[in-house]
Amino acid sequence: MAYFNHDTAIIDEGCDIGDGTKIWHFSHIMPNCTIGENCNIGQNVVVFSEVVLGKNVKVQNNVSIYSGVNCEDDVFLGPSVVFTNVINPRSAVSRRGEYIKTTVKKGASIGANATIVCGNEIGRFAFIGAGAVVTKTVPDYALVVGNPSKQIGWMSEYGHRLEFDENGEAICLESREKYKIDSNIVVKIS
């Protein structure tokens, strides 16, 4: 099995694209990118040089993924999400050697029009609300919203808000999986 790319998509030299991946209209995959199996790259997406996307990453329309970004498996990037890769950009100053890395961990979801400022890690199964501006590292399972973003709760791996009881335990409404919170760290216990 191979990958699919629309006739209007541009895929530069040196890219490694996994089986079952689909790359749609007017998207540009720049040199030396790695895109895992079964990804979906929506319309008008730009994936800059040396970006790494894991397996089953869903990238919606109009997303810009700049050099230095690494998305692990099962990440969801909503429409018009933007990553940065330089903290202090200036048009007249070249900062190409100063790109700051950003990692989006397994299963995280980033909502439409969110901006991820470089150098911050998005934790496993974290949930970034639409329009949020992330300026600091986000813990595993955290729910963050706003500009600048702030944490307002916790999410299950199925994307449901977790409500912890007096014992620090919560159950996902859909999967019935159990979670525990201790010292502001959430882990799945079943």
Backbone angles phi, psi at 35, to 5 degrees: -125, 125
How would you list the strands of the sheet with 169-171, edge to edge? 169-171, 178-182, 185-188
Q: Which amino acid is at 22?
A: K
pLDDT value at 32 more than 90: yes
- Average pLDDT over the chain, rounded to an integer: 97
The pLDDT, as a whole number, for residue 97 is 86
- Asked if 122 and 110 touch (Cβ cutoff 8 Å), the reply is yes
| Residue 159 vs residues 15, 86, 172: alpha-carbon distances, Å | 32, 31, 9
Residue 72 confidence class, pLDDT cut points 50, 70, 90: very high
pLDDT value at 43 more than 80: yes
- Asked if 25 and 41 touch (Cβ cutoff 8 Å), the reply is no
pLDDT in tens, 48-62: 999 999 999 999 999
Q: Which amino acid is at 80?
A: S
* CA–CA separation, 134 and 148 (whole Å): 6
The pLDDT, as a whole number, for residue 96 is 86
Backbone angles phi, psi at 141, to 5 degrees: 65, 5
pLDDT value at 157 more than 90: yes
pTM for the model: 0.96
Q: Is the peptide bond before 148 cis (omega within 30 degrees of 0)?
A: yes
Domains, the chain, ranges and CATH? 4-155 (2.160.10.10), 163-190 (no CATH)
Once rounded to an integer, what is the mean pLDDT over residues 163-185? 97
Could you tell me if residue 119 is left (phi over 0), alpha (psi between -120 and 50 degrees) or otherwise beta? left
pLDDT value at 162 more than 80: yes
Residue 1 confidence class, pLDDT cut points 50, 70, 90: low
pLDDT in tens, 102-112: 999 999 999 99
- Asked if 43 and 77 touch (Cβ cutoff 8 Å), the reply is no
Backbone angles phi, psi at 97, to 5 degrees: -85, 5
Residues linked to residue 168 through DSSP beta bridges, in sequence order: none
